[in-house]
A and B are shown apart, each in its own frame.
Chain A
Amino acid sequence: MTEKEVLALLKDERFCNYCLKRNNEDIRYWERWLEDHPEDRPGIERQRLLVMLLEQATASGEMEQQYERLKQRIGMPGGAHKGVTRRLNSVIAKWSVAALLILTAGISYYEYRRAHPSLLGQNDNVDAIGPAVNQAYLTLSDGARIDLGTADDGLLATQSGSAVTKYTGGKLVYRSTGGNPVSTVVPGFNTLTTPKGGLYKVVLPDGSLVYLNAASTLKYPATFTNLRERVVELTGEAFFEISHDPGHPFMVKTPGQIITDMGTTFDVSAYPDERQTQTTLISGAVSVGPARPSIRQPAAIELKPGQQASTDKEGIINSARADTSMALAWKNGEFVLRNTDIRTVMREVSRWYNIEVVYGRGVDTSDGLNGKISRTIPLSRVLEKLTSTGFVHFRTEGRKVTVLQ
């Protein structure tokens, strides 16, 4: 038996049982087999030993790692508790405290307004803080910057043989002018940036459609001809609908992940202030690789539709079933909360409404909130809905929102 054949025995469940001395029948079978093939005994014994070594080492490795994680959670102040379910006593306690707070807040608010009548107008602006609108800045390959919010519709520029046209409804379209891009081997890059509170769509030169969320930047070549791969760079979040072109894979580079696909729809969330980079596949197939391959994450993994790949700060990629309604909530005009803590919610709200968020003292940010809130309504209504959970309430001054217990 060759070395490869011995290794291939691992596929046989009965052989594995023999290695681990599990099933008497299987043990007898293989003992007999070895008696008939004594020349293979050394190779098989070595393999059995390897299996035993791995059995032990991985078991203690798994257990100890999970124990470490548990210890960290236990060590945290207050003991992080993931569930939303709270015991009755603490609910009553919290409500009584909340009631007191509202009372005192009401009194001091009244005093405050009496003392500062000029700020009456300021507070009314809360209703005026509306959801994200189509707004973005386009930087051309020569560095020129166009404010798409104020630019006129129509042809804006020609870049590396592509006509760049602004359409109504927040869409930018690249289309080849038909003429051969001159021997310029390297096409120029354009950058589309949305500010906080901004949204935009761009149709890339190959027909792929990208929806850009707020506070995001997409850098891409102005034309894909002469390029073997279609590579774009993203920070922030975008939803991709990619045109199929098997000869020219489409790649999205983010600081944490590199996503390669052939013709699919997927969402990539790569905000610098979020803990993880996440790619959620809706249809088709993508492979997600580390931005910097390392020993712990040497290779890319493939996603199936409905799966999500998350990369943590150490570059380890994990894939899991995705909650697609949550990943695409921004595109569907909603905030979807599934056991989401208030800080994560407020980061999204802050990007969408272009506000600054600060936290008052003693705000318990570990509780999980559940629910769906529309994104197309004014900020004040969103804050109302969050307040109705009883976990937090807010104070607004202009574009600054303070989260209070």
Chain B
Amino acid sequence: MRTDNAKAWDDFIGLESEEAFHVLYTYYYNYLTYVGLKKKFPSSRVKDEINEVFLYLWENRGKLKTIINAHNYILTAYLRKLYKKDNIGLSETSDWEANAEFLVLPSVETRYIRPQMQQHVSRILTDFVGKLPERQRQMIYQKFYLGLSYKEIATVNEVSINTVYNTIYKAVEKLKHQIGKDNLDTLLLALILICILYLFF
């Protein structure tokens, strides 16, 4: 994943490619969100500062040709904004990398789910997530994708643990009813087959 980002950075700086910019954003959005939330900054702050960093990158893309370690640069800029400090040394940033390494890397199965889904199930899912209020979607993202604990999610969203649990409970329940048992079973079968194939090849 890191080498994909290196190429994206080169394209972004050298060719001013918006596509490359989007690739960087896709990776760093999750990474920086994880870092910020683990440090217990509120969700809203984290979201704002990520966009501030990327806004800065875009506006100054002409001046960043000399940056050697883009990853450290982005991370440092982000941490500075979060802490509003101007003197974060490089040694502090290397600690972050160690902690955040485990993040992301969704399992093999999730990579194959989407293509295996039938049209109508895919549509139900997209509709459902599209209609989720921002707060709910945010909490589900934090629990399932980022893997934060219930307590951490409660802290950074400034709500009670019960609220987080209820939100997630309700969302899973609602999605279960909308997709329906049969569709789920069909999808499960398809996944199992894929996994078997994957194991053999």
- Residue numbers of A with Cβ under 8 A of B are 7-8, 10-11, 13, 16-17, 19-22, 42, 45-47, 49-59, 61-63, 65-67, 69-70, 73-74, 79, 81-82, 295-298, 307, 316, 318-321
Let me know if B158 is at the binding interface, CB within 8 A: yes
Known contacts A45-B188, A79-B59, A82-B52: A67-B129 contact under CB 8 Å: no
Q: B147, A22: Cβ atoms under 8 Å?
A: yes
Q: Using Cβ atoms and an 8 Å threshold, which residues of chain B touch A81? A: 55, 59
Let me know if B144 is at the binding interface, CB within 8 A: yes
Among residues of B, the one whose C-beta sits closest to the C-beta of A70 is B51
Let me know if B41 is at the binding interface, CB within 8 A: no
The CA of A360 and the CA of B60, in the complex, are separated in Å by 30
Please name 11 further chain A to chain B contacts, defined as beta carbons within 8 Å, in addition to the given A61-B130, A321-B42, sorted by A numbering: A16-B147, A22-B147, A49-B188, A50-B179, A53-B179, A54-B129, A58-B138, A61-B141, A63-B30, A66-B47, A73-B55
Q: Show 5 residue pairs from A and B whose CB-CB distance is below 8 angstroms, ordered by the A residue.
A: A10-B165, A46-B188, A49-B113, A53-B175, A56-B113
- B4-12, B71-79, B91-99, B104-112 - the one binding chain A: B104-112
Q: Using Cβ atoms and an 8 Å threshold, which residues of chain A touch B181? A: 46
Q: A320, B141: Cβ atoms under 8 Å?
A: no
Q: A57, B149: Cβ atoms under 8 Å?
A: no
Q: Using Cβ atoms and an 8 Å threshold, which residues of chain B touch A63? A: 25-26, 29-30
Q: Using Cβ atoms and an 8 Å threshold, which residues of chain B touch A52? A: 107, 109-110, 113
Q: Using Cβ atoms and an 8 Å threshold, which residues of chain A touch B22? A: 67
Interface flags for B161-201 (1: CB within 8 Å of A; 0: not) read 00001001101110110010100110110010000000000
Q: A54, B171: Cβ atoms under 8 Å?
A: yes
Known contacts A56-B113, A58-B141: A50-B172 contact under CB 8 Å: yes
The CA of A73 and the CA of B58, in the complex, are separated in Å by 11
The CA of A67 and the CA of B47, in the complex, are separated in Å by 10
Q: Using Cβ atoms and an 8 Å threshold, which residues of chain A touch B145? A: 55-56, 58-59
The CA of A298 and the CA of B131, in the complex, are separated in Å by 11
The CA of A139 and the CA of B131, in the complex, are separated in Å by 43
Among residues of A, the one whose C-beta sits closest to the C-beta of B147 is A22
Q: A61, B150: Cβ atoms under 8 Å?
A: no
Q: B134, A318: Cβ atoms under 8 Å?
A: yes
The CA of A265 and the CA of B77, in the complex, are separated in Å by 40
Interface flags for B104-148 (1: CB within 8 Å of A; 0: not) read 001101100110000000000110111111110110110111010
Q: Please tell me which one of the listed residues B50, B138, B143, B185 contacts residue A16 in the complex, with CB atoms under 8 A apart.
A: B143
Known contacts A20-B107, A318-B134: A53-B185 contact under CB 8 Å: no
Most buried by B among A8, A10, A62, A296: A62
The CA of A103 and the CA of B143, in the complex, are separated in Å by 60
Among residues of B, the one whose C-beta sits closest to the C-beta of A304 is B158
Let me know if B44 is at the binding interface, CB within 8 A: yes
Q: B52, A21: Cβ atoms under 8 Å?
A: no
Known contacts A21-B107, A22-B147, A296-B131: A53-B125 contact under CB 8 Å: yes
